[in-house]
């Protein structure tokens, strides 16, 4: 579409500049915590909606992943002595022996930080019975079935440090070498839900798990680094699919699919696994006792072939919860949801910064294009259609967001919608401002053209008046002189130089000619007055008739000319901005008002009158307008209320569309002057 | 016995009107001598040579552009008020309202000053010419606007007339002027207060004059 009018181009250009400013400003603001929280809240609601929809309508949620995962509920774990390494290792052994694929665990603080049970060498040296550390034994015996989730931490300079559990591994020494690094990285993986991985993602520091292979500095050897994989990915690789690449696909721009916790994973309470009275879980690693504790076939069935996720007891100091769309979840539940997503290879994809910015720009372009289409509409329609665009685009986008979520794509929400609303408002304001300026400019242009035409007409009128004065009037004077001479000298009977004036009166020819001459002269004066009149808009009327009247009243009151109590019922009129006829009529109506208020000051105001107040009323109802000036003086109607003022008022009323005026002497005293006319439509 | 010879200066650019002016002035004084100037500049030069008893001045004159202009006429009158303070002047024009800006000077001019509308009958012309010759001030009512300027002597006469209620003769005695001069001042006061009703009795017109002066704030 080609834009014919420059003002539309300008307005849209300004709208575009404002848009860029808004986007930049909002991008900067997106770091604000409250904005992040709003985005997070909206997205959580969206994800809950998506889960509900899929649960209800499409059954997209795979039971495969749900059934493949079992969480061991560690509540009241201390009742079973699980704070001790023997019991803890026994539980894991129990789970492995029950046929599970493997166990992903986070070592409780009480175990991870306990001193290692003296090793065989020291026992031999000290001639003590040989007792091997049960955790160390478990890890070495069950390397293929155990993964240790490890929480990393940062030290100054932003280094991320990976705590090593090398005390449990037979590494030969404490130092990591290329030979034994694989042993370590096959057992330990990093815990994925940690804010430090997500510093680039400004919206959601927690809900985006980090899965990619990552270099970490090693605890106690901070100058040395090693690559570790996410613990959940490591578990998946080790326990199911060693060749899987799914964990390496996503460089941190995925969002976990959470299952509704009420209907999520199978949880086996600890009391079903460990006998609380007699043989507790530690017996599972003692071959002598093992046979006495045959595994419950029912539990075995539940565990067999499953990924076992072992969390932390709630009373352990390492226990923590993380926020999710369904409220706070224990870290093990977060791992379960992540593992389910990996098994199904189904994540939400999140648009990166560039794509998000692209979405915002595309929306902004769409809004500006739509405004382009409606920019030529009248003001009222522009406002209606503009509002529809401003509201409609975000509504449509909201639908797109829901649809995209259904197809596992998470779109940015708060930033684009805020940006578009601001852009829409800016553009509509720009269009209105420019339209107004354009109207004013057109008005001025029309006035200039009209003034030029008037000027020519005025010159012509002036010339005609001058010519009549110079020739016919002078000739008339000579004729009058001649007739007067004849009468004066008695050359003609004076009675012959008279003509009938009325039924009973006669008038001399000279007197008659004098009257005619004077009439002509008066008309010529009127013509000259018109010819010399400057046709301009009264400055006080530039903002409308109501403003002009208010301004005039203020001036009269401040000058002390109007000393009555002034009651103002003055309402702005719907004036057609570009109607030149109305602009001229408005000048006349203003003149009418000035005449009326002058009359009040001259005749009704003390000392000439006894009025105490004057009411000014200006209102438009439909296209009918009324102007009224009313005083409360007691002056009675004059016998002959005529004069130049009255004539002027009549002239003004006659010139207006459906114009009529009326002066009433009120019974209760006072005079009211009404002027009514029809306002031309815009 | 014939009237003493008078000199009339006619300033008029329309030859036939000028001729008729002269013709009618002769009816005022058959022994008069008439000098006609077709432009104010020419008339002003003549004033340097001799002082007429009455100057009859038109206001509008044709310009080189073919239009009418009041500027030469008004300029000429201004020079008269400045340099010929006692000259009697009759402005004979249908555009006498153009004199408005000169009203303060007209009010303080010491010579007679009258205005006659060109479109009125010659009898008016003759009457106003006579008034001007007698040193009176005669201004059409519509020309007399808000500005009223009294000379010191006129103001003294107003006070003696309205506050002390003196007769013409008593005013003349008080101010050491002739009775006729006192009457002339009273006539000018009436003129300036736009109260020139000559039909009313002298007493009533004087009361009206004082009421008008009081209404306009000249008396307390």
Q: Transcribe A141-157 into DSSP letters.
A: HTGGGEEEEE--EEEGG
Mean residue pLDDT of chain A comes to 79
Tokens of A26: 């909002």
Residues pairing with A162 in the sheet: A218
**What's the pLDDT score for residue A278?**
45
Do B122 and A484 lie within an 8 Å CB cutoff? Answer: yes
The whole-angstrom distance between B27's CA and the closest CA on chain A is: 10
**What's the pLDDT score for residue A509?**
87
Q: Does the pLDDT of residue A10 top 80, yes or no?
A: no
What are the φ and ψ backbone dihedral angles of A106, each rounded to 5 degrees?
A: -115, 120
Check CB contact of B147 with chain A, cutoff 8 Å: no
A186 or A33, which is more confident? A186
Chain B residues whose CB is inside 8 A of the A488 CB are: 27, 122
Domain boundaries A539-678, CATH class:
alpha beta
What are the φ and ψ backbone dihedral angles of B67, each rounded to 5 degrees?
A: -100, 170
Length of chain B in residues, anyone? Answer: 220
**What's the pLDDT score for residue B42?**
94
The DSSP symbol for A604 reads I
Q: Does the pLDDT of residue B28 top 80, yes or no?
A: yes
- What is the residue extent of each domain of chain B? 7-138, 152-215
Chain A residues whose CB is inside 8 A of the B120 CB are: 514, 518
Stretch(es) of chain A classified as CATH 3.30.565.10: 539-678
Residues pairing with A321 in the sheet: A330
pTM for the full model?
A: 0.52
**What's the pLDDT score for residue A3?**
45
CB A355 within 8 A of CB A410: no
Check CB contact of B211 with chain A, cutoff 8 Å: no
Check CB contact of B5 with chain A, cutoff 8 Å: no
Do B119 and A484 lie within an 8 Å CB cutoff? Answer: no
Beta carbons within 10 angstroms of residue A622's beta carbon:
8
CB B106 within 8 A of CB B73: no
Radius of gyration of chain A (CA): 49
Q: What is the pLDDT of residues A122-152, one digit of tens each?
A: 555 555 555 578 888 888 888 888 999 988 8
Distance from first CA to last CA of chain B, Å, rounded? 50
3-state secondary structure A411-476: CCCHHHHHHHHHHHHHHHHHHHHHHHHHHHHHHHHHHHHHHHHHHHHHHHHHHHHHHHHHCHHHHH
Buried b (16+ CB within 10 A) or exposed e, A61-70: bbeebbebbb
Please tell me the least confidently modeled range out of A39-43, A676-680, B15-19: A39-43
Q: Does the pLDDT of residue B197 top 80, yes or no?
A: no
Do B24 and A481 lie within an 8 Å CB cutoff? Answer: yes
Check CB contact of A449 with chain B, cutoff 8 Å: no
Q: What is the pLDDT of residues A207-254, one digit of tens each?
A: 566 666 677 778 777 678 888 888 888 888 888 877 666 666 554 556
A205 CB-near residues (< 8 Å, 6+ apart): A195, A198, A199
| A524 to chain B: closest CA residue | B95
**What's the pLDDT score for residue A572?**
92
A125 or A502, which is more confident? A502
Q: Does the pLDDT of residue A381 top 70, yes or no?
A: yes
Check CB contact of A485 with chain B, cutoff 8 Å: yes
**What's the pLDDT score for residue A120?**
53
A2: confidence class by pLDDT, cuts 50, 70, 90: very low
Residue that has been written with the tokens 């490890």 in this structure: A150
Chain B residues whose CB is inside 8 A of the A471 CB are: none
Q: How far apart are CA A295 and CA A326, in angstroms?
A: 35
Chain B residues whose CB is inside 8 A of the A480 CB are: 121-122
Chain B residues whose CB is inside 8 A of the A531 CB are: none
**What's the pLDDT score for residue A219?**
79
Do B60 and A478 lie within an 8 Å CB cutoff? Answer: no
Q: Does the pLDDT of residue B146 top 80, yes or no?
A: no
A110 or A394, which is more confident? A394
Q: Does the pLDDT of residue B122 top 80, yes or no?
A: yes
**What's the pLDDT score for residue B21?**
94
Beta carbons within 10 angstroms of residue A202's beta carbon:
15
Most confident range, picked from A38-47, A534-543, A569-578, B126-135: B126-135
Do A474 and B119 lie within an 8 Å CB cutoff? Answer: no
The whole-angstrom distance between B67's CA and the closest CA on chain A is: 7
**What's the pLDDT score for residue B147?**
60
Q: What is the mean pLDDT of residues B7-11?
A: 95
CB B51 within 8 A of CB B83: no
Q: Of the candidates A420, A428, A421, A422, which has an alpha carbon nearest to the alpha carbon of residue A377?
A: A428
CB A284 within 8 A of CB A94: yes
CA A107-A110-A116 angle, 5° bins: 85
Tokens of A504: 């009973």
**What's the pLDDT score for residue A287?**
52
Architecture of domain B152-215: Orthogonal Bundle (1.10)
**What's the pLDDT score for residue A283?**
53
The DSSP symbol for A248 reads G
**What's the pLDDT score for residue B199?**
44
Percent of chain A with pLDDT over 70: 79
Distance from first CA to last CA of chain A, Å, rounded? 26
Q: What is the pLDDT of residues A251-297, one digit of tens each?
A: 455 667 777 776 778 888 887 777 644 444 655 555 555 555 566 77
**What's the pLDDT score for residue B133?**
93
Q: What is the pLDDT of residues A164-186, one digit of tens each?
A: 887 777 655 556 666 667 778 88
The whole-angstrom distance between B24's CA and the closest CA on chain A is: 8
- In degrees to the nearest 10, what's the CA dihedral of A232, A237, A243, A245? 0
A116 or A612, which is more confident? A612
ipTM over 0.95: no
**What's the pLDDT score for residue A378?**
81
Q: Does the pLDDT of residue B140 top 50, yes or no?
A: yes
A491 CB-near residues (< 8 Å, 6+ apart): A485
Q: Does the pLDDT of residue B49 top 90, yes or no?
A: yes
Chain A residues whose CB is inside 8 A of the B20 CB are: 477-478, 481
| A520 to chain B: closest CA residue | B119
Beta carbons within 10 angstroms of residue A491's beta carbon:
8
Q: How far apart are CA A584 and CA A568, in angstroms?
A: 24
Sign of the alpha-carbon dihedral angle for B104, B109, B113, B118? negative
A614 CB-near residues (< 8 Å, 6+ apart): A562, A564, A565, A566, A567, A597, A600, A604, A629, A630, A631, A632
CA A389-A390-A394 angle, 5° bins: 95
Q: Does the pLDDT of residue A510 top 70, yes or no?
A: yes
Q: What topology does CATH give the domain B7-138?
A: Rossmann fold (3.40.50)
Q: Does the pLDDT of residue A542 top 70, yes or no?
A: yes
Q: Does the pLDDT of residue A672 top 80, yes or no?
A: yes
What are the φ and ψ backbone dihedral angles of A238, each rounded to 5 degrees?
A: -70, -40
Do A466 and B118 lie within an 8 Å CB cutoff? Answer: no
- Cis link prior to A607 (omega < 30° from 0)? yes
């Amino acid at each position: 579409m080609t834009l014919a009018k420059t003002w539309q181009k300008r307005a849209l250009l300004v709208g575009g500049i404002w848009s860029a400013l808004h986007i930049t400003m909002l991008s900067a603001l997106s770091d604000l915590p409250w904005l992040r929280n709003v985005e997070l809240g909206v997205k959580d609601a969206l994800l809950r909606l998506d889960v509900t929809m899929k649960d209800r309508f499409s059954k997209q949620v795979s039971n495969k992943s749900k059934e493949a995962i079992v969480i061991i509920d560690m509540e009241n774990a201390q009742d079973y002595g699980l704070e001790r390494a023997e019991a803890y290792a026994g539980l894991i052994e129990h789970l492995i022996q029950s046929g599970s694929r493997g166990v992903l665990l986070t070592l409780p603080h009480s175990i991870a930080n306990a001193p290692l049970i003296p090793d065989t060498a020291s026992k031999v040296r000290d001639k003590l019975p040989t007792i091997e550390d049960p955790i160390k034994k478990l890890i070495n015996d069950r390397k293929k079935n155990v993964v240790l989730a490890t929480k990393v931490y940062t030290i100054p300079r932003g280094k991320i440090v990976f705590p090593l559990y090398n005390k449990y591994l037979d590494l030969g020494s404490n130092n990591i070498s290329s030979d034994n690094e694989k042993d370590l990285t096959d057992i330990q993986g990093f815990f994925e839900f940690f804010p430090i991985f997500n510093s680039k993602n400004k919206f959601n520091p927690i809900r985006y798990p980090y899965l990619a292979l990552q270099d970490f500095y090693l605890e106690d050897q901070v100058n040395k680094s090693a690559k570790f994989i996410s613990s959940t990915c490591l578990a998946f690789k080790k326990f199911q699919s060693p060749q899987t690449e799914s964990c390496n696909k996503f460089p941190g721009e995925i969002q976990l699919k959470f299952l509704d916790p009420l209907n999520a994973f199978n949880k086996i309470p600890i009391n079903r696994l460990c006998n609380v009275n007699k043989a507790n879980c530690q017996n599972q690693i003692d071959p002598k006792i093992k046979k006495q504790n045959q595994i419950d076939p029912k539990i075995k069935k539940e565990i067999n072939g499953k990924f076992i996720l072992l969390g932390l007891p709630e009373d352990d100091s390492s226990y923590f919860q993380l926020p999710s769309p369904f409220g706070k979840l224990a870290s093990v539940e977060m791992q379960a949801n992540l593992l389910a997503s990996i098994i199904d290879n189904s994540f939400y994809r999140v648009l990166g910064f560039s794509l998000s910015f692209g979405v915002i720009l595309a929306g902004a372009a769409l809004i500006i294009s739509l405004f382009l289409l409606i920019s030529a509409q009248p003001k009222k329609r522009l406002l209606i259609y503009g509002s529809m665009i401003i509201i409609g685009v975000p509504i449509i986008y909201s639908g797109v967001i829901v649809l995209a979520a259904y197809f596992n794509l998470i779109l940015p929400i708060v930033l684009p919608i805020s940006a578009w609303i601001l852009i829409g408002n800016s553009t509509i304001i720009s269009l209105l401002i420019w339209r107004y300026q354009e109207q004013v400019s057109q008005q001025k242009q029309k006035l200039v053209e009209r003034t030029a035409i008037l000027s020519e007409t005025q010159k012509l009128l002036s010339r005609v008046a001058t010519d009549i004065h110079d020739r016919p009037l002078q000739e008339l004077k000579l004729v009058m002189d001649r007739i007067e001479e004849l009468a004066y000298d008695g050359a003609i009977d004076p009675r012959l130089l008279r003509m009938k004036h009325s039924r009973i009166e006669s008038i001399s020819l000279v007197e008659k000619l004098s009257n005619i001459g004077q009439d002509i002269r008066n008309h010529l004066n009127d013509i000259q007055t018109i010819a010399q009149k400057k046709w301009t808009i009264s400055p006080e009327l530039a903002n409308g008739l109501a403003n002009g009247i208010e301004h005039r009243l203020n001036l009269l009151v401040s000058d002390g000319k109007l000393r009555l109590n002034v009651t103002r019922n003055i309402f702005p009129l719907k004036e057609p901005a570009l109607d030149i006829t109305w602009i001229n009529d408005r000048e006349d109506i203003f003149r009418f008002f000035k005449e009326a208020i002058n009359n009040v000051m001259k005749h009704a105001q003390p000392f000439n009158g006894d009025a105490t107040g004057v009411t000014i009323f200006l209102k438009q109802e439909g296209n009918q307008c009324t102007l009224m000036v009313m005083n409360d003086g007691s002056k009675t109607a004059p016998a002959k209320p005529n004069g130049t003022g009255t004539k002027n008022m009549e002239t003004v009323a006659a010139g207006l569309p459906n114009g009529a005026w009326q002066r009433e002497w009120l019974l209760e005293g006072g005079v009211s002057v009404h002027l009514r006319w029809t306002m031309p439509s815009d | 016995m014939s009237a003493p010879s008078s000199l009339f200066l006619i300033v008029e650019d329309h030859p036939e009107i000028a001729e008729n002016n002269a013709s009618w002035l002769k009816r005022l004084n058959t022994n008069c001598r008439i000098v006609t100037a077709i432009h104010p500049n020419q008339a002003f030069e003549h004033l340097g040579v001799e002082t007429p008893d009455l100057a009859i001045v038109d206001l509008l004159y044709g310009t080189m552009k073919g239009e009418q202009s009041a500027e030469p006429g008004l300029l000429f009158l201004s020079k008269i008020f400045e340099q010929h303070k006692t000259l009697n002047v009759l402005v004979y024009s249908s555009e006498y309202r153009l004199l408005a800006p000169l009203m303060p000077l007209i009010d303080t001019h010491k010579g007679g000053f009258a205005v006659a509308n060109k479109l009125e009958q010659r009898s008016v012309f003759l009457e106003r010419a006579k008034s001007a010759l007698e040193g009176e001030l005669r201004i059409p009512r519509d020309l007399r606007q808000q500005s009223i300027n009294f000379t010191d002597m006129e103001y003294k006469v107003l006070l003696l007339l309205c506050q002390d209620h003196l007769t013409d003769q008593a005013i003349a005695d008080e101010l050491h002027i002739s009775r006729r001069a006192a009457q002339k001042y009273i006539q000018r006061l009436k003129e300036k207060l736009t109260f020139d009703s000559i039909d009313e009795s002298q007493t009533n017109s004087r009361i009206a004059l004082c009421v008008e002066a009081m209404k306009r704030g000249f008396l307390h």
